[in-house]
């Protein structure tokens, strides 16, 4: 959450690449603190540092993707961000079944202090360090966001960055004109004249799928006590609830998990983009924190009631999007921003 607050200002003043590079450092230190933890204070410090880094990355990456992508590919490439997160989580769980616990299950180190003699070096390095370590040198091989460079009036760097992104054989003579228009419109809050690429249909379908999945799980929890655990019906209910959870994850990743980040990076006016983006990222992590802290309490109260509560929130999201969020696909950003007035 601390990283989310700082993410917008960092990306605004030191650039997208600089923000990602800075965010990788506390992630590495945090994983090291957890890896060699002797007591809970190391774990708390490690999680705090990792949280700061993830907070910065979760805002900066969608903005960077949106700013470097061609207009006809922006929505698809923006969705890859959430897909990559999901794949990373799945791979972490799969690795956890085969590799030594010191690479993944770092929490157990509270009850078993680490010693150099009881493990080789690789057993003491959790996998979180590896992608963060690769990120830093990898950033030297990608260009800075051309839109950020244009906003900073670094026109030579802007042209170089755009040439790298679009290909050295591509004619970009019209792009500096876009940059000039971008600079002139910045003061009025208009970011660019490209068409927005992320429609709300995906969010509506995603919210509907999430609502139906949560409703199915809630109903199963309410009726499971009336079915014998040895019966075939109980097995069927278990399978249906599992499939409903899988369907929920798919529906979330398809729309709600990816599209809002893309929309945020496209339609926020430059004059408030860093501040508003920070608040949006903070709201995301505050909500995640609240759900995590209250889930067990709610489940102990009523498992079915817990999923009903989540279903109502998902249903409200669906209604909110249908009634009050304007369509963005196929519309210029000027048209979108005018619809908010």
Q: What is the CB neighbour count within 10 angstroms for residue 258?
A: 26
Spatial contact of 66 and 74, defined as CB atoms under 8 Å apart: yes
Interatomic CA distance for residues 122 and 110, integer angstroms: 19
- What distance in Å separates the CA atoms of residue 302 and residue 152, rounded to the nearest whole number? 54
Distance CA 263, CA 230 (A): 49
pLDDT band for 341, please (50, 70, 90 cuts).
low
Euclidean distance between CA atoms 180 and 238, whole angstroms: 59
Check whether residue 250 and residue 124 sit in a common domain. Answer: no
User: Is 24 within a domain?
Assistant: yes
Q: Which residue has the higher pLDDT, 118 or 256?
A: 256
**How many structural domains is the chain composed of?**
2
Average pLDDT over residues 124-149: 78
Domain of 234: which CATH number? 1.20.1250.20
Q: Which two tokens stand for residue 114?
A: 């680490």
CA atoms within 13 A on the CB side of 11: 32
Residue 279 pLDDT more than 60? Answer: yes
C-alpha closest to that of 128 among 51, 59, 62: 51
Q: Is residue 220 included in any domain, yes or no?
A: yes
Residue 3 CA to residue 53 CA, distance in Å, equals: 6
Nearest-angstrom CA–CA distance, 198 and 257: 13
Does the residue 173 lie in any domain? Answer: no
**135 and 205 belong to one structural domain:** no
3 state SS of 258: coil
Verify that 25 and 130 share a domain, yes or no.
yes
Q: In whole angstroms, what is the distance from residue 109 CA to residue 243 CA?
A: 34
Cβ–Cβ < 8 Å for 148, 67: yes
Residue 176 is assigned to a structural domain of this protein? no
pLDDT of residue 298: 92
**Residue at a domain's end among 142, 165, 184:** 142
Res 334: pLDDT: 56
How many whole angstroms separate alpha carbon 29 and alpha carbon 217?
40
327 — pLDDT class (breaks 50, 70, 90): low
Angle of the 201-223 helix axis to the 232-251 helix axis, nearest 10: 160
Residue 313 structure tokens? 């929130």
CB contact set of 260 (below 8 Å; sequence gap of 6+) = 203
Q: Which pLDDT band, with edges at 50, 70 and 90, does 108 fall under?
A: very low
SS3 call for 199: coil
Tell whether 26 and 136 lie within a shared domain: yes
Closest by CA position to 55, among listed 11, 91, 15, 95: 11
**CB 142 within 8 Å of CB 17:** yes
Whether 195 shows a pLDDT value over 50: the answer reads no
Q: Which of 44-53, 82-91, 169-178, 267-276 has the lowest mean pLDDT?
A: 169-178
This prediction has a pTM of 0.70
Residue 127 and residue 17 in one domain: yes
Per-residue pLDDT band for 38 (boundaries 50, 70, 90) equals confident
Give the span between the Cα atoms of 89 and 107, in whole angstroms: 17
pLDDT top residue among 200 and 154: 154
Q: Which of 10, 3, 53, 56 is nearest to 31 (CA)?
A: 53
Mean pLDDT of 48-58: 87
- Domain range for 122 is 2-142
User: Distance (Å, rounded) from C-alpha 21 to C-alpha 126?
Assistant: 20
pLDDT band at 165 (very low <50, low <70, confident <90, very high): confident
Of the listed ranges 80-94, 187-201, 322-336, the least confidently predicted one is 187-201
Q: pLDDT tens digits, residue range 197-220?
A: 555 677 788 889 999 999 999 999
Mean pLDDT of the chain: 76
Q: What is the Cα–Cα distance from 194 to 332, expressed in whole angstroms?
A: 6
């Amino acid at each position: 959450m601390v990283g989310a607050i700082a993410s917008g200002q960092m990306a605004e003043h030191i650039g997208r690449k600089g923000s990602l590079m800075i965010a990788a450092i506390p992630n590495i230190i945090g994983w090291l603190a957890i890896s060699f933890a002797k007591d809970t204070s190391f774990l708390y410090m490690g999680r705090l540092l990792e949280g700061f880094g993830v907070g910065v990355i979760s805002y900066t990456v969608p903005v960077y993707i949106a700013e470097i992508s061609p207009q006809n590919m922006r929505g698809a490439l923006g969705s890859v961000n959430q897909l990559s997160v999901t794949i990373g989580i799945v791979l972490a769980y799969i690795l956890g079944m085969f590799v030594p616990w010191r690479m993944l299950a770092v929490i157990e180190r509270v009850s078993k202090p680490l010693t150099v003699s009881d493990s080789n070096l690789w057993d003491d390095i959790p996998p979180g360090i590896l992608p963060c370590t690769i990120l830093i040198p990898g950033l030297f091989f990608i260009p800075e966001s051309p839109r950020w460079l244009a906003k900073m009036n670094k026109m030579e760097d802007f042209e170089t960055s755009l040439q790298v992104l679009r290909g050295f054989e591509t004619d970009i003579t019209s792009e500096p004109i876009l940059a000039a228009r971008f600079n002139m419109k910045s003061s009025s809050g208009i970011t660019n004249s490209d068409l927005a690429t992320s429609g709300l249909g995906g969010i509506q379908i995603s919210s509907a799928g999430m609502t139906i999945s949560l409703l199915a799980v809630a109903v199963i929890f309410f009726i499971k006590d009336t079915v014998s655990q040895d019966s075939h019906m109980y097995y069927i209910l278990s399978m249906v609830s599992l499939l409903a959870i899988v369907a929920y994850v798919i529906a979330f990743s398809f729309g709600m998990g990816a599209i809002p980040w893309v929309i945020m990076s496209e339609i926020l006016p430059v004059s408030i983009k860093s501040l508003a983006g920070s608040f949006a990222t903070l709201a995301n992590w505050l909500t995640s924190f609240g759900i995590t802290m209250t889930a067990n309490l709610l489940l102990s109260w009523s498992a079915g009631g817990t999923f009903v509560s989540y279903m109502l929130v998902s249903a409200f999201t669906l209604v909110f999007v249908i009634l009050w969020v304007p369509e963005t696909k196929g519309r210029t950003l000027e048209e979108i921003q005018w619809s908010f007035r």
